[in-house]
Chains A and B, each alone.
Chain A
Amino acid sequence: MNNPYVPNLVVIRNITTENEANDIKTFELVFKEPEAMKNFRYRCGQFAEISFFGAGECPIGIASSPMDEDCIQFTVKKVGVVTTALHNSEEGTIMGVRGPYGNGFPMEKMEGRNVVIVGGGFAFTTLRSLTKFILHEANRDKFKDVTVIYGARDPGELIYKYDLEAWGKRDDINLNVTIDRAVPGWTGLVGFVPAILKEVAPSSDNAIAIVCGPPIMIKFTMPVINELDFSPEDVFLSLEMRMKCGIGKCGRCNIGNKFVCKDGPVFAYKELEMMPKEY
């Protein structure tokens, strides 16, 4: 029987600081065993349990696209014991990865349809994986129009600026990057994500919407999504929960009879409506 609690070893190949506040960093990890890298087949929207030996484990969404085959990336915000240890480490440090876990985004459902991606703040990390995957030349023509709305508090808090710049230059993606309040020097959109979504008003016709963000953003975005006439089974949210084992055994991430680590973290809005409001 395979032991699901033992992580595979990885090395930090690169660390990129993503934001001005210096508390969000992207870690590029390479498996020590090439076999382990080959076996780590993941989907957009999945997460892994990152181990920092001596500090513990924490669940982080996978930020790299499955099309990147030589490494995996995780974008981590410094909030607690494990993430602080991560932030204090350097390239060459050995860590552990368990996974991939979770159900990921419903790629099959999205094929042949327009895709609307709405993300706020730090939760954009798995949406970045999704966008990169869709835009990859091997995949792009499987999907129709792609609209991305991504907002952060201020320009310093925007992550993946290098990707945003590259995407902005493409004509096969409608990219809308916004910040909460106007700041000198910013020439882009200004407004909270729900407001920008309302302005952009992507059509819900033959479209799937993927929404990720802090609870407050979700709260105000969902009414706009409804107004735009998206059907509840075509809207998907990725939930955040405190998770430990990642495999539905430690018992803490359940919503009703479902485990966010196993049956989620991606849930259709229609599904969520039938689940207890405990998230």
Chain B
Amino acid sequence: MFPMKWKVIEKSKLPVLMAELAKENEVFAPVKEKSIVSFERISSENQAYLDFRNTKKPPKEVFFPQTETLFTYRTDKKNVEVLEDPAVKGKRVLLGVRPCDARSFALLDKFFSSGEDKDVYYLEKRKNTTIVGLACNAPLSTCFCTSMGGNPFGKEGMDLLLQDINDQYLIETVTERGEELIKKFPWLKDAEKADIERAKKLSEDAEKAVKSKVSVKNVSEKLDRMFDDPMWDQIYQRCLGCGVCTFLCPTCCCFDILDEETEEVKRVRIWDSCQFSCFTLQGSGHNPRPSGKERMRQRIMHKFNYFVKNYGESFCVGCGRCVRECPVNLDIREVVGAISTRQVE
């Protein structure tokens, strides 16, 4: 399908490739800042860092920033002028995305493009971005991508897949857009058969290395009958109600909209979390989710039942960030496991 499907690049040459890309694109890649690796825009001031297991923050922020201006406005009481803040113009390349995170884009795409009113801000950025994935040779013990429809060498949601085969990256073309990008680098060498075989072996090993398995098979259907299950009274008790799991989750995308008047006057949207106590608080003072119990139930139901009903898949890619980062070690794998083995009428 793609005549240039398999290329290789020396690891040492990757910065050269990125510098070339940076001439016509904004390039985003993982950057290490003290102990934290997160996606940043690559410039002369920083350097891509690809020896990570997974980034602290998920790459969703490249398409769905934590704070985003929707539009600015000028007002002098009798007149208001709305200056639409268009979605980002210019082309982008997002490099170094693990397959679990790339899958999250496929899920977010479904959500943000559903219905008549589409989220133009997210979709425009997606449209203008080429995604270069980075396969996982060494999944963490908290990774459970294979239980959620993914794979450490999965290609869903990306245009090219880099595979670390020691001193080189094998570059596999996944989409036409990926091929267009590769065409711009005629100096890339063709891959040898041995390179492709090596990658295949690494892929098989990586899949086996995903030891954490979460049984989601019957969970969605069971949750239909579990809204009033007493299990929820226990699960939420240790939860602090902070936003760590939702903010670091690649697929969580709830937001709030507010007006800010500083030097500019503008309407912005910011990440919000269903775990925060005021999330569903109404003006009358009534809150349909008054305690951590209802909020935890919402999180689990949304990810493993509501989203499944609307889009056919769980809203979780098994990246394990919530498992590693939860301050009290509330493990979503344990919760889902308990649901899958629970006896429900």
Contacts and interface: CB of A to CB of B under 8 A. Distances in A.
Contact of B84 (A6, A93, A95, A245): A6
Interface-centre pick from B119, B121, B272 (highest chain A CB count, 10 A): B119
Nearest to B256: A244
Q: Which 4 A-B pairs have the closest CB atoms?
A: A251-B254, A247-B117, A79-B283, A257-B306
Contacts of A277: 227
B286 A215 contact: yes
A252 B254 contact: yes
Given A54-B261, A250-B256, A251-B254, A242 B282 contact: yes
Interface in B238-265: 253-259, 261, 265
Interface in A136-183: none
Q: How large is the interface on A (under 10, 10 to 19, 20 to 34, 35 or more residues)?
A: 35 or more
Interface string B279-312: 1111110101100001000100110011101100
Given A6-B84, A53-B75, A1 B281 contact: no
Given A4-B117, A256-B306, A257-B306, A241 B261 contact: no
A244 B82 contact: no
A7 B259 CA distance: 13
Contact of B283 (A80, A215, A253, A256): A80
Contacts of B114: 248
B257 A250 contact: yes
B123 interface: yes
B115 A262 contact: yes
6 contacts: A56-B259, A79-B283, A242-B281, A244-B255, A250-B254, A254-B302
B125 to A, nearest CB: 12
Given A242-B280, A244-B255, A257-B306, 17 more contacts: A1-B123, A2-B120, A4-B118, A9-B80, A51-B267, A53-B75, A53-B265, A56-B267, A58-B283, A83-B283, A214-B284, A244-B257, A249-B111, A249-B255, A250-B254, A257-B309, A276-B227
B52 interface: no
Nearest to A240: B282
Contacts of A83: 283
B73 interface: yes
Interface string A225-249: 0000000000000001110110111
A2 B265 CA distance: 22
A83 B282 CA distance: 13
A6 B71 contact: yes
Contact of B305 (A5, A9, A257): A257
A54 B121 CA distance: 21
A100 B274 CA distance: 26
B253 A251 contact: yes
B123 A54 contact: no
Contact of A93 (B77, B112, B120, B294): B77
Interface of B: 70-71, 73, 75, 77-80, 82, 84, 111-112, 114-115, 117-121, 123-124, 227, 253-259, 261, 265, 267, 269, 272, 274, 279-284, 286, 288-289, 294, 298, 301-302, 305-307, 309-310
Contacts of A253: 280
A177 to B, nearest CB: 23
A3 B256 contact: no
B279 to A, nearest CB: 6
B312 to A, nearest CB: 12
Nearest to B282: A242
B73 A53 contact: yes
B84 A3 contact: yes
A253 B253 CA distance: 14
A56 B288 contact: no
B300 to A, nearest CB: 12
Contact of A248 (B115, B259, B307): B115
A251 B71 contact: no
A54 B75 contact: yes
Contacts of B267: 5, 51, 53, 56-57
Contacts of B281: 242
Interface-centre pick from A58, A251, A254 (highest chain B CB count, 10 A): A251
B265 A250 contact: no
Contacts of A279: 288
Nearest to B294: A278
Interface in A56-101: 56-58, 77, 79-80, 83, 92-96
A55 interface: yes
A1 B304 CA distance: 31
B306 A4 contact: no
Contacts of A262: 115
Nearest to B261: A54
A279 B70 CA distance: 29
Nearest to B310: A257
A56 B257 contact: yes
A249 B117 contact: yes
Contacts of A242: 279-283
A87 to B, nearest CB: 13
Contacts of B272: 250-252
Contacts of B75: 53-54, 94
A150 to B, nearest CB: 19
A54 B265 contact: yes
Contacts of B284: 79, 214, 240
A83 B294 CA distance: 28
